[in-house]
Every structure is written in structure tokens, then in C-alpha cells.
Amino acid sequence: MSVEKSYFEKLVAINVKSKIEKKGNLDYLSWANAWAYLKLQHSDAQRNVYESPETGLNWYTDGVTGYVKVGVVVNNIEHIDYLPIKDFRQKSITVDKITSMDVNTAIQRATAKAIAMHGLGLSLYAGEDLIETTGQDIVAPKPVKNPTGTKTITTYELNIGDANWSKVLTYIAKNKADGLEKIVNTLKTKYKFTTKVKTELEKSIKDD
């Protein structure tokens, strides 16, 4: 078992439910709690907030809008998140309107997402819909019920390396004992995927 796989499986298995909080209709794990959990497990974990070589500022621009680049290092493995600087409506802010507070919020959001890439927090959402982030937190949307009281199921298109890919691999790692057929059928209730993606999933399931 590789070092990366070993530490990832340990982080993804951590139960953080005691730190779940409410924000409107959403349950979330704050970036601060995620960082605390991570440091307790890996005291040498580090965060890198990158600066633009052109401006020297801690955010980048495409000339129209801005984004931040934040990396979290665990066991000498760095996962980097590139996050657009957005307003409260989740719309990208134009360069002329970006404030230091907007940048700070984006950096904290990106920190939470980079931590989740290492596994911490992903276990909360295994089998749920796509993880989203709001403000400075890792957020998981609650299932929406229709008037009859049954859950409304939404399926997502799954592609190799997209935002759902790590979450699906986490689910597979925790449920390999269920076998190939059961895992694939379960994933089909939430995702749509091509034959190529299915082949990669099967490889992950069979991989020891």
C-alpha cells in the first residue's frame, strides 16, 4: 500500500460528525475545524498561499476576474485548489471590485477544499450529492424531498478527474467488500458515466 493511499484512507475514515454545524438548510464542517483535525493527525501539515509573480499579490487575475491558488501539504504531498473569487451570490467578482475581504474568504474556502482532497471531510459525504463550499466552509447539501415525502434523486455526469471523482474513489475504497457489481449499480443511481469511465472504476475496484 502506498504512503499516499495509506494516509488518505486514514483521513477519510475520521468521524467529524460532532463538528457539523448548521448554516441555513445546510450542514457544514468549517475550514477551521477541518484544519484542526488535520493538524492533530499530521502536525507537519502546511498550507501554501501562492502569490502572483506579476503583481506580488496573493491572488491572480485573467484580466477580467480573479482567483486564488492554495495548496495543502500532507506527507510531502501537495494538493492545490484554484478557486474563483466570488460574491455572496457565488458569481465571480470583476477585478475592479475585488476587496481584501473577498480574497481572504476565497483563500479560506480554497483551504477547506484542498484539505478535503487529502480525504478529511470527504467521508461525511460518501453516497451524498456533490460537495459544495459556501463562504469559508465545506458544505454538504441535504436531500430535497418532493411533496409526497420521497427523496428527489439527481444524477450527475461523472468524468475522470472531475470534482466528483475523488469522492467516488473514496466510496470505492471503503466498500470494496461489496464487490464489483453492487458498487457499480450503486454508483449508477447517482452518476451517469461512459464506458471508458466505467472501465476506470472497475480497475479501481479490482485494485488491491
What pLDDT does 68 receive? Answer: 95
Question: What span, in angstroms and rounded, lies between the C-alpha atoms of 158 and 188?
Answer: 10
In the predicted model, is pLDDT for residue 33 greater than 50?
Answer: yes
**39 or 148: whose pLDDT is higher?**
39
Using alpha carbons, select from 63, 126, 70, 127 the residue that is nearest to residue 98.
63
Percent of the chain with pLDDT over 90: 31
In the predicted model, is pLDDT for residue 102 greater than 90?
Answer: yes
State pLDDT tens for residues 141-166: 444 444 555 545 566 788 776 667 77
In the predicted model, is pLDDT for residue 49 greater than 90?
Answer: yes
What pLDDT does 147 receive? Answer: 52
Q: In sequence order, what DSSP letters do the residues of 74-108 get, joined into one string?
A: ETTEEEEEEEE-B-TTS-BPBGGG--HHHHHHHHH
Q: Hey, which bits of the chain come out as E strands?
A: 21-23, 26-30, 46-49, 60-61, 66-74, 77-84, 132-134, 137-140, 156-157, 191-192
Q: Where are the domains of the chain?
A: 1-142, 146-208
Mention every residue, 6+ apart, whose C-beta is less than 8 A from residue 159.
165, 193, 197
**pTM higher than the cut 0.75:** no
Question: What span, in angstroms and rounded, lies between the C-alpha atoms of 206 and 41?
Answer: 29
What pLDDT does 131 receive? Answer: 41
What pLDDT does 176 receive? Answer: 80
